Amino acid sequence: MDERFAAFRSRACEMDRWDPLKSFRELFHIPPGTVYMDGNSLGLPPKAAGDALAKTFGEWRDLAIGGWLEGTPPWFHLAEEAGRRMAPLMGASPDEVVMSGSTTVNLHALVSTFYQPSGIRTKIVADELNFPSDIYALAGQVRLKGLDPKEHLVLVRSRDGRTIDEDDIISAFDDRTALALLPGVLYRSGQLLDMERLVKEAHKRDILIGFDCAHSAGALPHRLSDWDADFAFWCSYKYLNGGPGSPAFLYINRRHFGREPGLAGWFGFDKSRQFDMDLEFSHARSAGGWQIGTPPVLSASPLLPSLDIFSRAGMERLRHKSLALTGFLAEILEGTLSSAPYGYSVGTPGEEHRRGGHLAVEHPEAWRICQALKKRKIIPDFRPPRVIRLAPVPLYSSFGDVLAVAEALKEIVDGREYEDFSPVRDAVS
């Protein structure tokens, strides 16, 4: 096995040598001596983020309220400007994307708009592997319509506890379905759903469909408008490196600009007349119409340099490297660490067209192995019951990082290092 790792080491060096994106690593703060594999939970800060935050603070200090029109960009238009920079990453027009709220707030804003049960069409189709917050919100939206989630919220079952078969989702689309809300990438296993196919099948049946892209935005190219998705939403603190609690985004297909937002707020008002203080709501005929409150200017400022980095790197190149990184890790694990005494397995689909940006590595001692990795300054995260999530992010991860993780996984089992840790999980895993 050591000889095989030597061969992997040689390959890692060669791939890093010829990596066309390797220079982007220098644009990020990487904790000293750390191999960071948790960018699917919280991305690392661009070095320019600190300057951007300081610049915005300086505008607040020097311009005070004048920053709303004199800031760079003007704070009054910041949400739309961020949406303009975000839109190419999602395959959307600039006016179809806006920075707004948080992921779950945007879910509520969008579902309250698009879920209008009528006649026999009363059901929402989701899936049982979606992030629980989405299910909580969907159940709440069903109750707000006076209906029972146990009857009107349909959760498509998983056949293996890891993935959702698109055929099973489509089978749940029937003449009683009003809306479908699904993840772009499943948060635990990293499965990438065929969003284009699901949109086509939903629209064949006159069903509106939207996507939670929190685990796909910044990890892979999207074509939301070409696919004709009705709506989508996502956070900016994972692959997009916006920082903890950074504001989220939403997408509205321009076909729906004339709809009345279900949760109206004054920042969704037509900007040319927002300060008329008219009591009759007249929303912007763009994604901006679905804003609710004032954008968090300071929290948003570190996000803009990250979006500029994505523009320079290009999503197609980032996706190519991401697949190479996760594919290399899966090859090592399945080829050398799957049999006894190691017992690692990969719960993420192997096919590239079904794989998102992270790898779900499964092991009975996953929690304690995560703790042993952290002691070695390798940062993963854990998802119950037995998943070590590893996200080599193409902007700042190397193939050498991937090899270091694999070697550590081997040595942790060889030395039974995981036994030094409690099986009781921390509050944040």
For the domain that residue 377 is a member of, what is the CATH number? 3.90.1150.10
* Annotated catalytic residue within 8, 237, 239, 418: 237
Which of 273, 291, 311 is where one domain is finished? Answer: 311
pLDDT at 1 over 80: no
Q: How many CA atoms lie within 13 A of 350 on its CB side?
A: 8
* Annotated catalytic residue within 36, 389, 396, 399: 389
In which band, very low, low, confident or very high, does the pLDDT at 143 lie, cut at 50, 70 and 90? very high
What's the rounded Cα separation, in Å, for the pair 299 and 167? 41
Full residue range of the structural domain in which residue 222 is found: 52-311
Query: Is 35 within a domain?
Result: no
Which of 259, 285, 311 is where one domain is finished? Answer: 311
Structure tokens at 3: 């000889």
Q: Are residues 82 and 215 in the same domain?
A: yes
pLDDT tens, position by position, 235-264: 999 999 999 999 999 999 999 999 999 999
pLDDT tens, position by position, 281-326: 999 999 999 999 999 999 999 999 999 999 999 999 999 999 999 9
Catalytic status, residue 389: yes
pLDDT score for 5: 87
pLDDT tens, position by position, 33-49: 999 999 999 999 999 99
Query: Is 377 within a domain?
Result: yes
Catalytic status, residue 237: yes
Show binding-site residues for pyridoxal 5'-phosphate: 103-104, 131-134, 212, 215, 237, 266, 294
Catalytic status, residue 212: yes
Q: Are residues 65 and 200 in the same domain?
A: yes
Q: Are residues 253 and 289 in the same domain?
A: yes
In which band, very low, low, confident or very high, does the pLDDT at 189 lie, cut at 50, 70 and 90? very high
DSSP H or E stretch at residue 86: helix 78-90
Residue type, 63: L
Q: How many CA atoms lie within 13 A of 30 on its CB side?
A: 22
Query: Is 119 within a domain?
Result: yes
* Annotated catalytic residue within 212, 230, 381, 401: 212
Catalytic status, residue 226: no
DSSP-derived letter for residue 354 is G
CB 126 within 8 A of CB 202: no
In which band, very low, low, confident or very high, does the pLDDT at 381 lie, cut at 50, 70 and 90? very high
- Strands 359-362 and 387-390 turn out to be antiparallel
Q: What global pTM score does this model have?
A: 0.96
Which of 261, 288, 311 is where one domain is finished? Answer: 311
Q: Are residues 59 and 182 in the same domain?
A: yes
Show binding-site residues: 103-104, 131-134, 212, 215, 237, 266, 294
DSSP H or E stretch at residue 418: none
Residue type, 156: V
Q: Are residues 298 and 381 in the same domain?
A: no
Query: Is 163 within a domain?
Result: yes
Query: Is 78 within a domain?
Result: yes
For the chain, the domain total comes to 2
Please choose, from the candidates 377, 378, 375, 376, the residue with its C-alpha nearest in 3D space to the C-alpha of residue 390: 378
Query: Is 426 within a domain?
Result: no
Query: Is 39 within a domain?
Result: no
pLDDT tens, position by position, 65-116: 999 999 999 999 999 999 999 999 999 999 999 999 999 999 999 999 999 9
Q: Are residues 108 and 158 in the same domain?
A: yes
What's the rounded Cα separation, in Å, for the pair 327 and 323? 6
Q: Are residues 256 and 396 in the same domain?
A: no
Q: How many CB atoms lie within 10 A of CB 148?
A: 11
Distances 36 to 248, 389, 403 between C-alpha atoms, Å? 23, 12, 13
Contacts of 331 (CB under 8 A, 6+ apart): none
- Strands 208-212 and 231-234 turn out to be parallel
* Annotated catalytic residue within 131, 257, 281, 342: 131
Q: Are residues 294 and 319 in the same domain?
A: no
Query: Is 36 within a domain?
Result: no
Structure tokens at 397: 């991860």
Q: Are residues 60 and 142 in the same domain?
A: yes
Average pLDDT, rounded, for the chain: 97
